[in-house]
Amino acid sequence: MTAGEPLLPPLSAGEWGDDEYAAFGALMGLPGEKVPRAGSGHAADPLKFDIIGLLARHPQMARRFLTFNGWLLQRGELPLRLRELAILRVAHIRRSAFFWGEHTKVAIEGGVPECDISRIAGDCEGFSGVDRLVLDATDELLRDGRAGDGTWHRLNDELGTHQAMELIFVVGTYAMLAMAFETWRLPPPAGSATLPG
């Protein structure tokens, strides 16, 4: 095995079965039988989503996790901009090329300017207000394993309790995913943005 070869590759087309489709369906809000089949070429073909194909190697765990993560991404109250700033900061600090590439695309498609994305990889100068609060809180959570009392009170005052709670779960979820995918050497999507040095 070479240094760059995945330790745990995504499922191949022939490895998808009912349990694996049900896991992917949990993310999409569909029953497994409605999920496009692997290799179909459909826009939601599971083979186009390496992260899902990897998680689906443990379909029961993936089904429950993807239900939660799908809720955070699609139905949570934290605005897309703030969520993506936090995820990209996690990707930068945890050196996750996969999540930097994947979530640069999500952020740009959601209206986050490329100049803001570039600044996340630095010292976050130029950010202010709630953006800076979210980025500083993300750094604190990753560094200390908790938000201090002052940070929590500021988040709660600025974002409200629901969004402040979601921010902590977003940071924790993506720190965990970055750890998992770095362990398994999941490469970033082809043609995605390169993690800055």
Spell out the domain ranges in the chain.
Answer: 13-74, 80-184
- Output 187 or 169, whichever has higher pLDDT: 169
Instruction: Find the range with the poorest average confidence among 82-91, 110-119, 182-191.
Output: 182-191
Residue of higher predicted confidence among 136 and 3: 136
**Distance (Å) of CA 98 to CA 16, 189, 197:** 23, 7, 14
* Percentage of residues of the chain with pLDDT beyond 70: 98
Cut 0.85: pTM above it: yes
pLDDT at 96: 95
Q: What is the pLDDT of residue 1?
A: 45
Banded pLDDT at 4 (limits 50, 70, 90):
confident
pLDDT tens digit sequence for 127-142:
999 999 999 999 999 9
| CATH architecture of the region 80-184 | Up-down Bundle (1.20)
Neighbour tally for 192: CB within 10 Å? 17
- Residue 3 is predicted with a pLDDT of 57
